[in-house]
Amino acid sequence: MIFSGSLAMRVSRDRRTTRALSIGAISATMLLSLAPAQELARHPNWPGPGQLFVGACYQPVDRTPEQIHSDIAVMKKAGFNVVRMGDLSWDSFEPSQGKFEFDWFDKIMDEMQANGIRVILDIPGLPAPIWLHRRYPGVDLVSQDGTRLPPARRYMDDIGDPDYAREVAAMAEALTRRYAHHPALIAVGYDNEVGNGFMSYSEADRQRFIVWLKQKYNTVESLNKAWATQRWSRRLNSFDDVDLPLADGPVPPERYLDLHEYWSDVTIERLKELDQIRGRNMPGLPSISNLWPNASRKGFDYLGTYKSYVNYGALGFYPSDPVSGAMEALMVKGDLETPLWFNEFTAGGQGFYGLPGRSRMYAYLGLIVGNQGVLAWTFNSHTGGEEQMIVGLLDHDGTPSRKVGEFQRIATEFASLQKLGFPRFTHPEVGIAYSFASNVASNPKGPSETTQGYFSPAYEEQVRGVFEPLFRDNVDAAFINIAHADLSRYKLVAVPADYVMEPAGAKALREYVTAGGTVVMTAFSAKVDVHSQWFDTPLPGLLSDVFGLSTAAFYTADQELTFDLDGVSVATGAHFYEVLEPTTATVLARFSNTDDKTPAITVNRFGKGTAVYVANEAAASVMGPVLRHLYAATGIQRGPETPKGVFARVVEGRTLYVNTTKEEVRIPIFKATKGLISGREFKDAMVLGPMDADLIP
């Protein structure tokens, strides 16, 4: 069926200025809608939280009707109960402007429903169709040197362009109206991997950036101060003097941070616009989107904004190792109380067919961190275009691979586990601060940028340095933006290398400690303000009194630093240290092998709470002992003790163990029991094979 000109927002096909729904109108009205969390599960299609889902991402645009029918039969036989469709397919729904074709997709949705398979429908805002680029050249990217770039690969779209914003909204309007009441639909997603998009450098982009700067700084005098333009003779006489900062450098740090925050705001605005459309046409149907907010190319401030367009944290799950995978997953969960979704899930890869048992092992690791849905990327292997060496569940000749059997096993086992307390609802007692601004500002680009020599290891490595020992101790943690989270939910808040300290975040930490909370902060934290300029007050900026110290000097020792904690010598693996000068803080540990023997860890009582400062980088070798020292004082209980590479959680009185190693492991138990997954009898020890999992009472 073809729809043309029927949408209210499409008043004219020829003149962009006559659209009834402009980007400005969308932005104004979005504030009137309910936040996604407030309207959760009000749609009759949503099955609720007490169910596990196993399925695949499916691209029917690659398949003939006969192949689609065969594919769905394979899915049904494998026990799949969900697919994700629609992503990367804008021109299949709208082959030319305003001409919508849905009949082909209607048939697929109906057949999925007839076979008991539910659908997550992705609004395919990226990539934009070629027709859109040809009609509206402003959607084309412009490189830093002014070259127009054709849309040769995915995501080469300028999503800041108002024509793009209007057209993606029109497509989303048509799609959501069409399928709002289809019984197969359980959720929608937005703009697959939008965080991995590109910045653009057109004159129109420069003008939009100037508008953003005017809204943020009001006057050119304020902008000059924020950008420290007196340095190196870079004063601006008016906003018209502003150039777009260069993402690849060289660029001063203040401008580099504003560049990324501007593009972050553009991305977030697009997501909020799509969520407004969903909320209007599909009220109560949740959004479950693969957004990739931490993509290195651009990214966006997800944890500072996500509750305005997210119901369930979701991601493409392609872990390089269990700790990294768990950390990446939990960074999109944030402090949402809803389960996680693996909207794309590891099955193969670029030249990687997929090791037997690996997907099943990671599916169980997902249950540990609170996952609800596993959707293999992808169902059919791609034979052409980008990602033709992504190997799916069907081989390139269309034959079901042995991986279909592995996912069938996952589906069968998960169907029984959902009666035993899964998906697991986590209640973390530790909050780990993560800041988009700190990640950006700690690594500006440029040949004379001195921050690069100072800030090492990289910010996200230091965030992992806090998460890793907690995860290995089987302790739940949530990643939070301290300025936007309810810190009172946590017994301990960790602030690793939080380079940028904004007033709202400092205020939240101050109030949390005053009320009785415990915070542990590490070196490199609170060094610069929201403009990426170093504080001209005692460090840590805005919080020196809370931590009862100041720190200005820093050194790199010739040897690995050590300190004694709880009667044990700690080899930190670190050489960098800050010189802590306590005022009201007391010294918990001193470096044992430096000439000055300065404090390694200090503790300060502030109000009813405790503020701990660690003079080293946030490496796991440092933070493991420090966190374990704090467990008793904060009342945090370690999870089940497990061998290295084995992770576990207690769920409704039963313990799920996951062996992520390629070796058999034995875990001592105190009574004879039977594995509820394996059916095996265990007496003195539970035996887990390589990459295996089991649940015991």
Instruction: For 37-76, give the DSSP string.
Output: GGGTT-STT---SS--EEEEE--GGGS-HHHHHHHHHHHH
**Per-residue pLDDT tens over the stretch 49-67:** 789 999 999 999 999 999 9
Query: Span 242-268, mean pLDDT?
Result: 95
Q: For residue 262, what are the contacts with CB-CB under 8 A and spacing of at least 6?
A: 209, 212, 213
pTM, full prediction? 0.94
Output the pLDDT for position 20: 30
Output the pLDDT for position 36: 47
- Kindly tell me if the per-residue pLDDT of 127 is higher than 80: yes
- Kindly tell me if the per-residue pLDDT of 320 is higher than 70: yes
Three-state SS for 259-305 is: HHHHHHHHHHHHHHHHHHHHHHHCCCCCECCCCCCCCCCCCCCCCCC
Question: In the beta sheet, which residues pair with residue 100?
Answer: 3
53-57 and 100-101 strand pairing: unpaired
Amino acid at 572: T
**Per-residue pLDDT tens over the stretch 5-15:** 333 333 232 22
Query: Span 294-314, mean pLDDT?
Result: 97
Output the pLDDT for position 16: 31
Cis amide leading into 423 (omega within 30): yes
Output the pLDDT for position 31: 28
Please give the Cα distance from 19 to 16 (Å, whole number): 6
Range in 100-104, 283-287, 449-453 the model is least confident about: 449-453
- Kindly tell me if the per-residue pLDDT of 385 is higher than 50: yes
- From the list 256, 259, 64, the residue with the least C-alpha distance to 160 is 259
Query: Span 167-186, mean pLDDT?
Result: 98
Output the pLDDT for position 3: 30
Please give the Cα distance from 354 to 352 (Å, whole number): 6
Question: In the beta sheet, which residues pair with residue 519?
Answer: 493, 611
Mean pLDDT of the chain: 92
Task: Identify which of 247-251, 442-446, 617-621 has the greatest average pLDDT.
Answer: 617-621
Output the pLDDT for position 390: 86
Output the pLDDT for position 297: 93
**Per-residue pLDDT tens over the stretch 529-577:** 999 999 999 999 999 999 999 999 999 999 999 999 999 999 999 999 9
Q: For residue 576, what are the contacts with CB-CB under 8 A and spacing of at least 6?
A: 456, 523, 554, 555, 556, 557, 616, 617
Please give the Cα distance from 425 to 88 (Å, whole number): 32
Query: Span 400-423, mean pLDDT?
Result: 97
Output the pLDDT for position 42: 61
Helices (H), 130-252: 130-135, 162-179, 203-217, 220-226
Amino acid at 653: G
State the Cα torsion 638-644-646-648 to the nearest 10°: 0
Q: Which domains occur in the chain, in start order?
A: 2-11+22-124+164-196+264-417 (3.20.20.80), 204-243 (no CATH), 430-634 (3.40.50.880), 646-696 (2.60.40.1180)
Strands (E), 296-346: 314-317, 340-346
- Kindly tell me if the per-residue pLDDT of 515 is higher than 70: yes
Please give the Cα distance from 98 to 112 (Å, whole number): 27
Output the pLDDT for position 447: 66
Label residue 399 exposed, middle or buried (CB < 10 Å: 0-12, 13-18, 19+): exposed
**Per-residue pLDDT tens over the stretch 329-346:** 999 999 999 999 999 999
- Terminal alpha carbon distance of the chain: 55
**Farthest CA pair distance, the chain:** 79
**Concatenated DSSP letters for 615-669?**
SS---HHHHHHHHHHHHHHHTPPP-----TTEEEEEETTEEEEEE-SSS-EEEE-
Q: Which residue is listed with tokens 């992770």?
A: 647
- Kindly tell me if the per-residue pLDDT of 25 is higher than 80: no
Indicate the SS3 state at residue 556: strand
**Per-residue pLDDT tens over the stretch 570-602:** 999 999 999 999 999 999 999 999 989 999 999
Indicate the SS3 state at residue 499: coil
Output the pLDDT for position 636: 98
- Kindly tell me if the per-residue pLDDT of 30 is higher than 90: no
**Per-residue pLDDT tens over the stretch 198-254:** 999 999 999 999 999 999 999 999 999 999 999 999 999 999 999 999 999 888 999
Per-residue confidence band for 435, with pLDDT thresholds at 50, 70 and 90: very high
